[in-house]
Copies of this chain bind each other. A is one copy, B any other.
């Protein structure tokens, strides 16, 4: 499972539009389709119902959304924390 795909999924759940989601990431609509289909394949569940001019999360999709957000947030926190390490000299450590 790829975290970029989770970000795409989250954005699609908000925008409810494949084309707009693609534009947000400077990719094309079919790539969004592929990423969502890949997630659906990995999970063995449909995440969205696509019909008559709107895109809606399934019940499974709603549940998965909460996890996806937590995973994406954790990745961001990890990157943030690592970027902070060793940023400031550790003045009070006198020896190894």
CA distance A77 to B63 in the complex (A): 11
CA distance A1 to B71 in the complex (A): 11
Which of chain B's residues have a CB closer than 8 A to the CB of A67? Answer: 74-75, 77-78, 81
Copies of this subunit: 2
Chain A, interface size category, equals 20 to 34
Q: Which residues of A contact B (CB under 8 A)?
A: 1-4, 43-45, 59-60, 63-64, 67-68, 70-71, 74-75, 77-79, 81-83, 85-86
23 A-B interface contacts by CB (under 8 A): A1-B4, A2-B3, A3-B3, A43-B79, A43-B82, A44-B83, A45-B85, A59-B85, A59-B86, A60-B85, A63-B78, A63-B81, A63-B85, A64-B78, A67-B77, A67-B78, A67-B81, A68-B78, A70-B74, A71-B71, A71-B74, A71-B75, A74-B74
